[in-house]
Amino acid sequence: MSSETEKDKQLILDAYEELLKHCKRSREPESKQMIDKAFHFAWEAHREVRRKSGEPYVLHPIAVAQIAAKEMGLGTKSIVASLLHDVVEDTEYTLEDIQNHFGEKVAQIVDGLTKISDVFDQQTSMQAENFRKMLLTLSDDLRVILIKMADRLHNMRTLSSMPLRKQMKIAGETLFLFAPLAHRMGLYAIKSELEDLSLRYEHPDDFDNISKKIIEQEEKQQKIIQSIIAPIKEKLKEANIQCSIKNRPRSIFSIWNKIETQNTSIEEIYDLISVRVVFTPKEGVSEKNQCWNIYSLITDIYKPKPERIRDWVSTPKANGYQALHVTAMGPQGRWVEFQIRTEKMDDIAEKGFAVHSKYNTSGSGESELDKWLNDVREILDNPEADAMAFLDEFKLNLFSKEIQVFTPKGHIRTLPKKATTLDFAYDIHTDIGNHCIGAKVNHRLVPLSHELKSGDQVEILTSEKQIPKYEWIEFVITARAKSKIKSAFKKERKEYTLKGSRMIEDQLSDSGLLLNAKAFRKMLEHYKLSNKEELFYKVGIGNININEIDGVVRKKSKSKFIKYWKLQFFGNSEENEDEEILETPNAKPELDKKKTLMLTELAANESYKIAACCKPIPGDEVLGYLDMANNVTIHKRKCPNALKLMSSQGDRILAADWTSHRLMSFLAIIELTGIDKIGIVNEVTNVISKDHDVNMRSLHFESHDGVFEGLIHLYVHNTEDLNNLIMKLIKIKGLDNVKRIENIEEYS
């Protein structure tokens, strides 16, 4: 590795000087000395090492320490641990060296931050297991997870120097786990930036398009915002209220997410304008009353929308967030969301629990975090928990909206939206959940599956004779409840799993078939299961007919591709769609994961297959997933399954790109809505029949109250052909909306 230049030294010293400017909680000489010692220790340890970008490696820990100090408001030990976070893993220094130089507490934090380099079982996702182990450190020190977040943020800010495959893996993992975790920790600013950076690498075209539109609208938007703010400023000044009023720009990711989920345009997102009023509270007056006073002054000017008032001052969110939100009708017929909060509330909203200690708060926010951490620890402490199952359970309660319900004695419990009475029972105590037979909600008898709403008062009814039932898992939604029910069934499940394994072995042995990786792949694909244990269990309890197994294993694989010249207009899709191909007995050659997999027509069926869940077509942004049998499945990058794979099994992700496809056709579905009129179906079919690059498989129209909806299944060569057709269709008079269906699995 090249030695350090004078330019490098100056770069490092400048970065360190910048860090020191933001160490506001480390003004004591002893603190400054400790930070300086850690900086020189890290500089020496990483002296000959460089990052992928070519810059000296020590700039990374300095940047992480600056995020911890400036953007999270953390103190001396956290800054020191940030500077040292990669020393034990990447250099010859040991944890004992860190403890001798910087004390036990810093060593504990660094230990928690040290990247895990164990070799796990091949069947387990290394990322999922790493994440699980990382969260175990929560029980030691909350600062570990905050510094880990700072580390991830800097890695995302410098992701451009990484190869495409790594970019997708890290961006997917960030969006799936770290952004929701930042949200749960109350780190709003960091959560938003992580989401935006993930979008930049996962969907660069979408990111650029939204960025340009925001810039285009900026001047016009500023004028509107100033016209909204001006009369409020005047009114608050008259009331002698010290405050700052500013626009809260919506993040690029939140705009993109709304466009994707609501099929709307950036111009149509009604709550794009959001104004934040941050005030200095007067002493001796309740902050809550002051928030409502400002609300009253604002609604004297703009008429509020009653159903869009959110009071998180009286009952803060579980991540500590406090504010009063109201949506009101502003000038020019625009809805405007006003967020009213004190300076302290604003600081906590942006930096989350990292700054709680600064205010010495000990309200419901912190106790809610402690409760959440305890739930996480309970799931983590189970040594038999499968890493992927853990990820699913953990994810359940990360990003959920919350409701507040009351115990019979009037105590508030915070639960995720859509929580049931059984979730509430397990939230109180495991034994209460296990013996729950029903509940009284607002003095009315309800079943275990009853969905609770904010403000409900819940009394749980129990019986010693009641025991947990496995079907409870189908309707509980909290990770805690699911974990407790599964624990109760663990022993029984093991017995059924063992039984199912023996049954499959005996059945295939009697039929003269081998129980190998290929046989397992066919069974898992046929029954749509994710692992062998699930297969064994379902056979053991009788959910899968054991007599079907040999037929499934003998069955030939099917191709999801259709040769273009075999298609018939309005033809029978079933004849064409599943064309049989012969399986090769030879093992597939190893793929170079560092290279982009080119998706050629000649390699179709042999080198890759199209994912049934999202059915991408040439032109879509895609990635490849390499399974244990060396088979590659191509997913859209937008596909929820792909996002999960990027996050949990990133080492199996391949960068993939299409070559020109003109012989093969791929299934796509478009949805049409419009005003029903005579001849509109004929106009639609005429446009499609005249398009030489598209063939129609089926057409379905429904009309009600003068409005029609249609679904058309088409075979196209690529996204260009599909987009051209959509542009032609939208010109038909009476058609209001034409869009491609992204989640194709539901409609196929």
Active site residues: 89-90
- Please return the burial class of 538, using the count of CB atoms within 10 Å of its CB with bins 0-12, 13-18 and 19+: middle
Which of 328, 294, 291 minimizes the C-alpha distance to 309? Answer: 328
Q: What are the distances in angstroms from CA 175 to CA 133, 143, 183, 202, 517?
A: 19, 21, 11, 10, 32
Please report the DSSP string for 91-111 in residue order. SS--HHHHHHHH-HHHHHHHH
Single-letter residue type at 486: K
Taking residue 478's Cβ as centre, other Cβ atoms within 10 Å add up to: 23
Which of 541, 405, 408, 383 minimizes the C-alpha distance to 478? Answer: 405
Please report the DSSP string for 444-495 in residue order. EEE-TTPBP-TT-BEEEEE-TT----GGGGGT--SHHHHHHHHHHHHHHHHH
> What are the φ/ψ torsions at residue 645 (nearest 5 degrees)?
-65, -40
> What are the φ/ψ torsions at residue 362 (nearest 5 degrees)?
-140, 35
Q: What is the dihedral of CA 248, 254, 259, 260, to 10 degrees?
A: -170
Which of 423, 419, 426, 421 minimizes the C-alpha distance to 403? Answer: 419
Please report the DSSP string for 61-73 in residue order. HHHHHHIIIIIT-
147, 125 Cβ separation under 8 angstroms: no
Which of 29, 46, 58, 128 minimizes the C-alpha distance to 93? Answer: 46
Q: What is the dihedral of CA 135, 654, 620, 598, to 10 degrees?
A: 170
Which of 87, 93, 47 minimizes the C-alpha distance to 65? Answer: 87
> What are the φ/ψ torsions at residue 272 (nearest 5 degrees)?
-65, -35
Single-letter residue type at 192: S
Say whether 717 sits in a helix, a strand or coil.
coil
